[in-house]
Amino acid sequence: MKKLIALLCLSGSVVLAAPPPPKGKAPPADAPVAAKPAPLTPEERKKVLYALGAMVAQRTPLAQAGLDEAELTEVMAGFTDATLGKELKVAPAENMPKVDQFLKERAKVRGEQEKAKGATYLEDQAKAPGAQKTASGLIYFETQAGTGPQPTPQDTVKVHYKGTLVNGTEFDSSYKRGTPAEFPLSGVIKCWTEGVAKMKVGGKAKLVCPSEIAYGERGAGGSIPPNSVLNFEVELLSITGKDAQ
């Protein structure tokens, strides 16, 4: 957070900068030459610029600051002046402590809002048909029974999953990436360690995770606010070293 202005100015170049050429042997003379991409059309350029702006917001504290339209106008004024190399009206370095204070205050407000919203959501989910609430607060729904082995917290599992906030916003999906995730159950959030350990290979479940056994007061990146209750739809594909029977 202490490098907000620098991030705003540099994030685009960091994202788009090409990696250095690999060292070592030159490619053989008969190696195929990559086709040169066609120039961007005006419509493609508009999309690229929009995507660049979205990346700046998502990869800096802006997405979590809860800015209103007037506040965002001020942010864009500083962003524009810095990007175009104009003389800055405010010295970023001198204001960094106050920038940090501002972002912390906004994070606290948003966290309190999420906590209240999450409490109501958890109450409703616990009353839903098929809900199994555990001592940790996890609310577990089996949506498809598995027939294979059941993992322990010490196992490594392969899963497909989708994660959403209580308002339905999707923040992650292995389905969209087209590649299952594989990880040790002991190395993920407590909600996953407990919830996936209740499943059997071939099964599917919905995990409703209170923030205390998810990402808590810190949230995660720009997509999961502090104190967020999270929903995960999980499909257990396999357990490393165990055959599905």
62-113 pLDDT per residue, tens = 877 788 899 989 999 999 999 999 999 988 889 989 988 998 888 888 888 8
Neighbours of 74 (CB within 10 A): 11
How far apart CA 58 and CA 54 sit, in angstroms, is 6
206: left (phi over 0), alpha (psi -120 to 50) or beta: beta
How far apart CA 97 and CA 132 sit, in angstroms, is 46
| Residue 54 placed within a domain | no
| Residue 48 placed within a domain | no
Model pLDDT, residue 68: 86
What total of structural domains would you count in the chain? 1
| Residue 91 placed within a domain | no
Model pLDDT, residue 235: 97
Which tokens is 15 given? 């994202």
210-240 pLDDT per residue, tens = 999 999 988 886 688 889 999 999 999 999 8
How far apart CA 134 and CA 212 sit, in angstroms, is 13
* Strands, E assignment, 72-220: 132-133, 139-144, 156-165, 170-173, 181-184, 204-209
pLDDT surpasses 60 at 115 = yes
Model pLDDT, residue 207: 97
95, with CB counted inside 10 A (0-12, 13-18, 19+), is middle
pLDDT surpasses 60 at 152 = yes
Model pLDDT, residue 31: 61
Model pLDDT, residue 58: 75
The pTM for the full model equals: 0.67
Place of tokens 């809860």: 66
Model pLDDT, residue 3: 43
| Residue 52 placed within a domain | no
| Residue 109 placed within a domain | no
Provide the angle, in degrees to the nearest 10, between the axes of the packed helices 92-126 and 4-16.
80
| Residue 192 placed within a domain | yes
In the predicted model, what is the mean pLDDT of the chain? 84
167-209 pLDDT per residue, tens = 999 999 999 999 999 999 999 999 999 999 999 999 999 999 9
* Residues known to be catalytic: 161, 171-172, 189, 215, 232
Q: Residues 66, 109: contact at Cβ < 8 Å? A: yes
- Domain of 219 in residue numbering reads as 131-239
Kindly report the CATH number assigned to the domain that includes residue 158.
3.10.50.40
Model pLDDT, residue 136: 96
Confidence of residue 243 (pLDDT cuts 50, 70, 90): low
